[in-house]
Amino acid sequence: MNRQKKLQQLFKAKAKKASAKLAPKSKDKYISKADRLKLATEAGQEPVTAGETPAE
């Protein structure tokens, strides 16, 4: 592999990383189960566990 090809590879790789960093994230930030329960109790809602069904 010659020097020009190596340089072009490096530039492409850096450009790809930079554009990936600027791109919008497709997934939401992960919120742990404990944090979800805490947020639910702060909101005044009773947390629903997997075995229970919400009362309607």
Cα–Cα distance list, 33 to 26, 29, 41, 45, 46 (Å): 21, 13, 12, 15, 14
Nearest CA among 25, 46, 29 for reference residue 37: 46
On whether the pTM is more than 0.75, the answer is no
**In angstroms, rounded to a whole number, what is the distance separating the alpha carbons of residues 3 and 10?**
11
CB atoms within 10 A of CB 47: 13
Q: Going residue by residue through the chain, which has 56 residues, state the pLDDT in tens, using 9 for 90 and above.
A: 699 999 999 999 999 999 998 888 788 889 999 999 999 998 886 656 666 665 55
